[in-house]
């Protein structure tokens, strides 16, 4: 899959404004490491040319890259520049990064449809294999499964339990069926609200067994569609799992921000066309926080991160 818009779209405001990208990459898995710096120069009509500095064993510079994309061509490019060891390291890092959004919870969302029962090697970014993952935990790690169910009840008191079993007419597939507290009637995944389904996906992600946790979890806007009470629970789970793995949240929610401390926050904003990242200094906010919450300070534009020219 290439980059929409071609090479020119990767350059800020196009090649007439910025005709070059520079980056550095270093990775260490313990047994192997790779490190190099690169410069990508625009080449008409719509390509990028790599100029790499690093391992002297790398091939000559000047390889033309077209339709550059993170999950495809970048790995292929690293293969050419850093050899098989570098390719393996980059592929390993990309596979270990769990990026989750759970934005699609509509009637045709993957989590609301049948899924192959063996599709359980980690929760997909769209939670499309939620039923298969929960079934795996129910059958092999009951304690973790019950912890997930208890936490779901905490944010959705009407929820009793899942009904997870292979479909009788198609035993290779499973559906996210469930029942409501006080009733035996089987409900389907289409009978979860969008917010409840999103909360279930987040809870499953954050409460999976420690051995299954990826080294990095990135969640985009976890607050979407969640009740404030559910958001408090999710924030608590994030703080807990962050003791065992790296968790990155991208949020625009002042309410979610209230559940964290200045040490946890990196403010992102654009300045003169350039995106900047700045970690908050707790000492600078100490007096402010005696009267206001962190979310309130953000809304008052005390530390930036608000829309501006």
Residue 297 lies in a domain: no
Query: What's the confidence (pLDDT) of residue 199?
Result: 96
Beta strand extents in 208-287 (DSSP E only) = 216-220, 246-250, 266-271, 274-279
Kindly give, in sequence order, each residue whose CB lies less than 8 Å from that of residue 127, ignoring residues fewer than 6 positions away.
100, 102, 110, 111, 197, 201, 204, 205
**Are residues 109 and 197 in contact, defined by beta-carbon separation less than 8 angstroms?**
yes
Query: What's the confidence (pLDDT) of residue 84?
Result: 54
* Confidence bin at 234 (pLDDT 50/70/90): very high
Same domain, 76 and 110: no
Same domain, 43 and 104: no
Domain end among 52, 82, 112 = 82
Query: What's the confidence (pLDDT) of residue 69?
Result: 38
According to DSSP, the residues that pair with 166 across neighbouring strands are: 174
Q: How many domains does the chain have?
A: 2
Same domain, 72 and 117: no
pLDDT in tens, 251-281: 999 999 999 999 999 999 887 777 889 999 9
Length of the chain: 309
Supply 73's token pair.
Answer: 């061509």
Say if strands 177-180 and 159-163 run parallel, antiparallel, or are unpaired: antiparallel
Kindly give, in sequence order, each residue whose CB lies less than 8 Å from that of residue 142, ignoring residues fewer than 6 positions away.
none
User: What's the predicted TM-score (pTM) here?
Assistant: 0.79
Residue 34 lies in a domain: yes
Say whether pLDDT at 114 is over 60. Answer: yes
Domain end among 192, 212, 232 = 212
Cα–Cα distance between 9 and 7 in angstroms, integer? 5
Same domain, 119 and 152: yes
* Confidence bin at 42 (pLDDT 50/70/90): confident
Residue 68 lies in a domain: yes
**Are residues 221 and 101 in contact, defined by beta-carbon separation less than 8 angstroms?**
yes
Query: What is the arithmetic mean of pLDDT over 172-183?
Result: 96
Other Cβ atoms within 10 Å of 61 Cβ, number? 13
Q: Which domain holds residue 115?
A: 100-212
Domain end among 212, 246, 270 = 212
pLDDT in tens, 93-108: 666 677 888 888 888 8
Order of strands across the sheet with 47-53?
20-28, 33-43, 47-53, 64-65
Same domain, 76 and 109: no
**DSSP string for residues in the chain:** ---TTHHHHHSTT-TTT--EEEEEEEEE-SS-EEEEEEEEEEETTTEEEEEEES-TTSPPS--EE-S--TTTHHHHHHHHHHHHHHHHHHHHHHHHEEEE-----STT-GGGS-EETT--SS--TT-TTHHHHHHHHHHH-HHHHHHHHHHHHHH-TTEEEEE--B-SS-TTEE--EEEETT---EE-GGGS-HHHHHHHHHHHHHTS-GGG--SEEEEE-TTTT--HHHHHHHHHHHHHHTTTSEEEEE---HHHHTTS-GGG-EEEEEETTEEEEEE--HHHHTTGGGTS-HHHHHHTTSS--S---
Cα–Cα distance between 137 and 126 in angstroms, integer? 19
According to DSSP, the residues that pair with 149 across neighbouring strands are: none
**Are residues 258 and 293 in contact, defined by beta-carbon separation less than 8 angstroms?**
yes
Residue 294 lies in a domain: no
pLDDT in tens, 117-159: 999 988 998 999 999 999 999 999 999 999 999 999 999 999 9
Segment holding 199, helix H or strand E: helix 194-206
């Amino acid at each position: 899959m290439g980059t929409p818009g071609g090479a020119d779209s990767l350059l800020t405001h196009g090649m007439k404004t910025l005709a070059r990208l520079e980056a550095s990459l270093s990775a260490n898995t313990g047994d192997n490491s790779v490190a190099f710096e690169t410069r990508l120069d625009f080449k008409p009509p719509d390509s990028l040319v790599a100029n790499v500095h690093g391992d002297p064993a790398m091939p000559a510079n000047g390889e033309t890259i077209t339709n550059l994309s993170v999950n495809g061509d970048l790995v292929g490019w690293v293969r050419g520049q850093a050899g098989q060891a570098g390719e393996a390291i980059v592929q390993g890092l990309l596979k270990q990064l769990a990026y989750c959004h759970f934005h699609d919870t509509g009637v045709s969302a993957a989590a609301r449809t049948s899924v192959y029962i063996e599709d359980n090697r980690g929760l997909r970014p769209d939670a499309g294999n939620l039923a298969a993952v929960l079934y795996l935990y129910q059958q092999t790690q009951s304690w973790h499964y019950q912890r997930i169910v208890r936490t779901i009840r905490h944010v959705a008191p009407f929820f009793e339990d899942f009904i997870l079993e292979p479909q009788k007419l198609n035993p290779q597939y499973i559906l996210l069926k469930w029942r409501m507290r006080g009733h035996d009637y089987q409900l389907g995944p289409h009978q979860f609200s969008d917010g409840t389904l999103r909360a279930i996906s987040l809870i499953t992600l954050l409460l999976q067994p420690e051995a299954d946790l990826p080294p990095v979890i990135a969640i985009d806007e976890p607050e979407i569609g969640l009740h404030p009470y559910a958001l408090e629970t999710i924030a608590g789970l994030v703080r807990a799992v962050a003791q065992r793995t790296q968790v990155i949240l991208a949020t625009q929610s002042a309410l979610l921000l209230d559940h964290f401390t200045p040490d946890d926050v990196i403010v992102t904003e654009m300045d003169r066309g350039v995106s900047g990242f700045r970690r908050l200094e707790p000492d600078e906010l100490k007096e402010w926080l005696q009267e206001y919450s962190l979310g309130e300070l953000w809304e008052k534009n005390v530390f930036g991160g608000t829309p501006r020219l």
